[in-house]
Structure 1
């Protein structure tokens, strides 16, 4: 008896995440909280102010620039 698993249950050798799954934008507005979290920072008043200023300068593209 074979102990190998059927092809359907094996993990793919290619473990690259598809591009369509990497983008976080859902078409909604970007908030300062989104910017802070994408930067890996804590939600503090100082970081939120930094994020507000970044959004004022760069608009929603600020988040796109931070994510892959």
Structure 2
């Protein structure tokens, strides 16, 4: 068979069978409610809520790691001082 006589993959019977298959895969079936793999989503509200990196609690080790530094005692202490001094601004500079 030459290169010019090959059927494109998209046109093979195997692909058509796979596309037409509506059978559920048991490994992906859940009880129907939210769980760790299928969370419940909130309906949109009137105004969009802008979320920033400082909306969640940050430990000094988290800040040091987010800044690309190894979590050594010196870097963790520097991040702790930065969080105490600048608060949320320290996080916003790193994770906007």
TM-score w.r.t. length of structure 2: 0.42
Q: Which has the larger radius of gyration?
A: 2
CA distance, structure 2, for counterparts of residue 46 and residue 32 of structure 1? 11
- Any gaps of 5 or more consecutive residues in structure 1? 5-22
- CA deviation map 1:11-43 (0-9, x unaligned): xxxxxxxxxxxx762722121012101110001
- Would you say how many aligned residue pairs link Structure 1 and Structure 2? 52
Spell out structure 1 runs of 4+ moving beyond 6 A.
Answer: 1-4
Q: Which structure has more RCO (C-alpha within 8 Å, separation ≥ 6)?
A: 1
- Any gaps of 5 or more consecutive residues in structure 2? 1-6, 11-50
CA distance, structure 1, for counterparts of residue 54 and residue 95 of structure 2? 13
CA-atom RMSD, angstroms? 3.0
Which residue, 68, 73, 85 being the options, matches 1:40? 68
